[in-house]
Amino acid sequence: MKKITILVVLILLLGYTLSANEAWSIEIDIGLTGNWSETVNVLDLAGGPGSDLINTYESNADQVSLNISETTINPWTVEIRKSDVNWPIDFHFWLRRTSDGVGSGSIADGSTYLEITDTDQYFFDGSGDRTDIHIQYQLSGVSAATILAGTYSITIYYTVTEGT
Amino acid sequence: MKKIRNLMVLMVMVIAFGLVGTAVAQTDTATDGFNIVVNPVAVIDVAGTLASLTVSAPLDGGDEPVISVDDDHSYLQYTSIVADDTFYRTITVAPSSVPPGLTLLISAATPVGAGGEGNFGTPASPTLEFTTLSTTAQLLIDDIGSCYTGTGALDGAQLTIGLELLDITDLVAGTYPITLTYTLTEDI
């Protein structure tokens, strides 16, 4: 009886160790390279004195690259949201995926411009590790009538979640 | 035997639970932060036809010389982006010269063309007056914020330029080219 009790305790301890051991848990990873900045000035007038600013500004198609790694057999999804400082009410920020990246799994959606908001929203999904997923940004709503000179900061959050 | 079997089942269940316990949805976040910089802008141009004013002989001798009607075919077109809601710009005007014996009259109207939008500022009132002895720049439009007037044929602040007889004894016949300089600047 005593031997059985010790054996049960050892088995339960084994189970706890397995659940707590990080070596057994796989954590998906998303990384990002590249950056965008835009300066709006007199050269961006649509037609000289008296004209408005160009309304829309676009980054390079491969301005930013996403890499998703440490995946398992489960599919994953990427959501996006933003936070900003002094963001003009007329500014709208958009992004889209311009490449499938490189990997043996799959990737879908996100190739049409999506306006980023302050809450998480679905961007694209896929499976397996994937590198060099190119992202393009777009800023719209720029007008001399409604804007003040200054610096406007924005942070984009890319959150990848792998299913079970 | 039965106890060993039960223990084996328990061990398998525990191991399975331990592994499953690790297989929760994994998540990670990457961030990308950057700036959009908007620089101040202050550009101005005059659109339309050149003003042409004449002083000619009256119909009857003894009457005052006849001064042609005011010219209102030119427009100030400008784009301004200011730093904040308390920072404004002004437009001043100064003639290069004024013919002797005459007063040069200049006024501007608030832009009303469909091609513009924003805080265009407030035209000065009354009409500005310049003479031979007084060609210093005067305030024409005040409190200009962020705006664009438009660049169409009827866009911008319409200018009215005229002459008034000041002293006939100083009038000398001739052609007097005048350059009007409009300056869009900070409101200090």
Measure the CA–CA gap between A36 and A32, rounded to whole angstroms: 12
Q: CB distance from A117 to chain B under 8 Å?
A: no
Indicate if the pLDDT at residue A27 is higher than 80.
Answer: yes
- Mutation pick from B7, B26, B31, B76 vs chain A, by most beta carbons of A within 10 Å, is B26
Query: pLDDT band for position A120 (50/70/90)?
Result: very high
The one-character DSSP state at B69 is P
Residue B117: Cβ-neighbour burial (10 angstroms; 0-12, 13-18, 19+): middle
In angstroms, what separates the C-alpha of B120 from chain A's closest C-alpha? Answer: 9
For residue A16, is it within any domain? no
For residue A14, is it within any domain? no
Residues spanned by the domain of A104? 28-162
Domain boundaries, chain B: 41-186
A162 interaction partners in chain B (CB closer than 8 Å): 25-27
The one-character DSSP state at B70 is P
Mean pLDDT over the full length of chain A:
90
For residue A153, is it within any domain? yes
Q: CB distance from A85 to chain B under 8 Å?
A: no
**A120 → chain B, closest CA residue:** B29
β-bridge partners, B67: B55
Q: Which residue in B115, B186, B128, B188 sits closest to B157, CA to CA?
A: B115
For residue A100, is it within any domain? yes
A34 interaction partners in chain B (CB closer than 8 Å): 32
Kindly report, residue by residue over A41-75, the tens digit of the pLDDT: 999 999 999 999 999 999 999 999 999 999 999 99
Q: So what's the pLDDT on residue A2?
A: 67
What is the pTM assigned to this prediction?
0.83
Tell me the mean pLDDT in the region A101-124: 96
In angstroms, what separates the C-alpha of B52 from chain A's closest C-alpha? Answer: 24
Q: CB distance from B11 to chain A under 8 Å?
A: yes
Residues 6+ apart with CB under 8 A from B188: none
B 21-60 residues with CB < 8 A to A: 21-41, 43-45, 47
For residue A150, is it within any domain? yes
CB distance B142 to B98 below 8 Å? no
For residue A88, is it within any domain? yes
CB distance A157 to A83 below 8 Å? yes
**B88 → chain A, closest CA residue:** A148
Three-state SS string over A79-119 comes to EEEEEEECCCCCCEEEEEECCCCECCCEEECCCCCEECCCC
For residue A7, is it within any domain? no
Low-confidence ranges of chain B (pLDDT < 70): 1-5, 7-24, 187-188
**Joined tokens for residue B108:** 């501007």
Q: So what's the pLDDT on residue B34?
A: 85
CB pairs under 8 A between A and B: 204
Looking only at the bridges linking them, the beta strands covering A57-58 and A130-140 are: antiparallel
> Do A42 and B43 lie within an 8 Å CB cutoff?
yes
Rounded to two decimals, the ipTM of the complex is 0.83
In angstroms, what separates the C-alpha of A125 from chain B's closest C-alpha? Answer: 13
> Do A148 and B24 lie within an 8 Å CB cutoff?
no
Q: So what's the pLDDT on residue B188?
A: 47
**Joined tokens for residue B104:** 């040069």
The phi and psi torsions of A9 (rounded to 5 degrees) equal -60, -45
> Do B37 and A18 lie within an 8 Å CB cutoff?
no
Kindly report, residue by residue over B47-91, the tens digit of the pLDDT: 998 888 888 888 888 888 888 888 888 999 999 999 987 889 999
Q: So what's the pLDDT on residue B81?
A: 96
> Do B41 and A41 lie within an 8 Å CB cutoff?
yes
For residue A18, is it within any domain? no
Number of domains in chain A: 1
> Do A48 and B24 lie within an 8 Å CB cutoff?
no
B 76-95 residues with CB < 8 A to A: 77-85
